[in-house]
Amino acid sequence: MHWDWAVAADVLPRLLAGLVVTVQATFVGAILAYALGLGLAVLKMSHSRLVSFTFYWLSEFIRRTPLLVQLYFLFYVLPDLGIFLSPFVAGVIGLGLHFATYTSEVFRAGIENVPKGQWEAARSLNYTTAQTWTRVILPQAIPPMIPPLANYLITMFKETPLLAAITVVELFNAANIYSNSFYKYLEPMTLVGALFLLVSIPSAYAAIWLERKYARQN
């Protein structure tokens, strides 16, 4: 077995197209995970025990089951219930729901770290609930959350090969399709690893920089 540059040149455009899908799925899934995670954090902190209990255990159920099983449910089981999703949409929803349970804990910790006096100050200014959250609590809570949220973004990027199970032609699946068609595995899979490293290593250093930056501010 030896490296064939002709095979590498042939498969590279397909891998780059797959990388674009991978990055798209990661960022759309992350936006969904952050939005749902914030909402889930607020619901789990609700003063209503029924609401907080329900969403706590819903979060635990999603977090304690494998992402792969959730992807299969969204893509293969929901059609039996009359709900049809494209592979990409099912993959993005799966990533967003799964990682929302993790980001919700980041949001919850950040919100709880805001001094209680800030809530009291907002009440003394007659702020509405929405104004309290948007003008007082979240502006103070979110900056320290940025490093861990960035780390989850990187983790989500590395989990995207699971989308191949529901036929999304992302980076790994693009290589897998080529390898199974031409029985060439060395070059495609090596390039997949290299492309993942090319994106994830700079991203990891960016996350470290963010962590140090906000550590100095605190």
The whole-number pLDDT of residue 216 equals 59
8 Å CB contact between 172 and 161: yes
- For CA atoms 199, 202, 205, 210, the dihedral sign is negative
Categorize the per-residue pLDDT at 215 as very low, low, confident or very high, splitting at 50, 70 and 90: low
Q: What is the 3-state secondary structure (H, E, C) of 11-37?
A: HHHHHHHHHHHHHHHHHHHHHHHHHHH
- The token pair that represents 188 in the structure block: 């495609």
8 Å CB contact between 175 and 189: yes
Residue 217, pLDDT above cutoff 80: no
- List, for residues 122-151, the tens digit of each pLDDT value: 888 888 888 888 888 888 888 888 888 999
- List, for residues 158-213, the tens digit of each pLDDT value: 999 999 999 999 999 999 999 999 999 999 999 999 999 999 999 888 888 877 77
Q: Is 48 left (phi over 0), alpha (psi -120 to 50) or beta?
A: beta
The whole-number pLDDT of residue 131 equals 85
Contacts of 174 (CB under 8 A, 6+ apart): 14, 15, 17, 18
- Which tops the pLDDT comparison, 24 or 113? 24
- List, for residues 53-100, the tens digit of each pLDDT value: 999 999 999 999 999 999 999 999 999 999 999 999 999 999 999 999
The whole-number pLDDT of residue 13 equals 96
What one-character DSSP code corresponds to residue 65? Answer: S
Superfamily of domain 5-217, CATH level 4: MetI-like (1.10.3720.10)
Residue 1, pLDDT above cutoff 80: no
The whole-number pLDDT of residue 121 equals 85
| Prediction pTM value | 0.89
Torsions phi, psi for 128 (to 5 deg): -75, 170
* Helix axis angle, 5-44 to 87-112, nearest 10°: 50
Categorize the per-residue pLDDT at 218 as very low, low, confident or very high, splitting at 50, 70 and 90: low
Instruction: Classify residue 8 as exposed, middle or buried by CB count within 10 Å of its CB (0-12, 13-18, 19+).
Output: middle
Average pLDDT score over the chain: 91
Give residue 31's Cα distance to chain centre: 8
Q: Whole-angstrom Cα distance, residue 212 to residue 82? A: 48
The whole-number pLDDT of residue 123 equals 84
